[in-house]
Structure 1
Amino acid sequence: MEAVQLKSERLEARLRPEDKALMQRAAELSGRKLSEFVISSAREAAVETLRRHESLVLGDPRDQAAFAAALLQPPAPSRRLKAAARRYRTLTGN
């Protein structure tokens, strides 16, 4: 049986009367209360925003090939990268 999580957080916002009227009308058309509509819409927007920022889309086949090549055949570490790794190990004890 799945546990029901109680709603305990509160969110308040100031908005223009025309924005509230717009949201109220949309909520009515979707058969929901205003607060349900706003919460659902905000959650959908948040999930989509996170999805767009947490994923990498390589539409061009050349970009896909370059990305795969970099993963499968990475270049050898440079002198500067090796020095930075040594400094990191010295500072962190790793």
Structure 2
Amino acid sequence: MPTSPPRTERVEARIAPEVLEIVRRAAEIEGRSVSDFLVGAAQEAARRTIEQMQIIRLSMEEQQRFAALLLTPPELPPAMARAAKAHKKLIAPSQ
């Protein structure tokens, strides 16, 4: 079994007694300490939250529309085309 890195940080939280009882019961069922159970649950919740913010999920229809727009992008509006042209002049690569 791989060893865990040493724990050096401390987090405190106040919870209602009935919530603590549920957590104790769940930790007991898994054969873990309350602290270990809470750390594991918090870590899993944190990973899910980060994943939800970093992964874009699209329906099949949305995927097809996205790919089509990448392959054949719409024409730029006139103001955007002028801005792109001005940007190229201003940020011309040095040669």
The answer, yes or no, to whether TM exceeds 0.5 is: yes
How many pairs does the alignment contain? 89
Note the residue ranges of structure 2 that are not aligned, 5 or more in a row: none
* % same residue: 36
Once the two structures are superposed, residues 42-70 of structure 1 have per-residue CA deviations (whole angstroms, 9 ceiling, x without a partner) of 111111121122111112x3211101112
Q: Give the Å deviation of 1:80.
A: 3.2
Runs of 4+ in 1 over 4 A off after TM superposition: 84-87
Q: Give the Å deviation of 1:77.
A: 3.1
Distance 1:86 1:27, change over 3 A: farther
Aligned AA for 1:57? R
Which residue does the alignment assign to 1:65? 64
TM-score by length of 2: 0.74
**Bigger CA drift: 73-82 or 29-38?**
73-82
Which residue does the alignment assign to 1:21? 21
Matches of 2:86 and 2:14 in 1, distance apart? 53
TM-score by length of 1: 0.74
Q: What does residue range 27-66 of structure 1 map to in structure 2 within 5 Å?
A: 27-59=27-59, 61-66=60-65
Note the residue ranges of structure 1 that are not aligned, 5 or more in a row: none
Aligned AA for 2:74? P
Tell which structure's C-alpha radius of gyration is larger.
2
